[in-house]
Amino acid sequence: MLWCSHCQCSAADSALTCPQCGGPLEPMPRAKWNFSLKDRPGHRMPQDPVHLTNLPDYALAGMLAELLEDNGIPSFLQESGTLGQASSTYLGTSLLGYDLYVERSQLQEATEWMNAFLNAPGDNVEAEDSEFAVD
């Protein structure tokens, strides 16, 4: 797929010029959703990254990445595969989810944090002995 940077329209790969304005075409840019907290003070990118998990939701993946960062584990997110990148461009979300990478030397610690995060009890559970419990 090609696109025109002048009028922002897309065109077929076989097109020689933009069908709307006649301008030059270039390859469609890929959306990059590499989530990292690199703008935060003290952030480090993993030097020896290893795949930790794939999460279906960008918000969930971002929260886990931030939790890991807050606990000293460098991490970054990337859309899964070419189809995931293409679906983000057209649909606004990745059909294949988001891959989370961490430092290889901290994989075990990251796995423990991930399990605690993903298996945390829900907010909708009320204590039976609570004074606010409904009978």
112 exposure class (CB count in 10 Å sphere: 0-12, 13-18, 19+): exposed
Residue 27: what residue type?
A: P
Q: Residue 81: is its pLDDT beyond 70?
A: no
Cut 0.95: pTM above it: no
- Boundaries of every domain in the chain: 1-29, 31-118
Of 128, 118, 102, which is closest to residue 46 (Cα–Cα)?
A: 102
- For residue 106, pLDDT beyond 90: yes
**Domain 31-118 belongs to what architecture?**
2-Layer Sandwich (3.30)
| Range from 41-45, 55-59, 85-89, 114-118 carrying the lowest mean pLDDT | 85-89
Rounded to an integer, the average pLDDT of 34-59 is 71
Element (H, E) at 98: strand 98-103
Tell me the C-alpha distance between 29 and 124, whole Å: 42
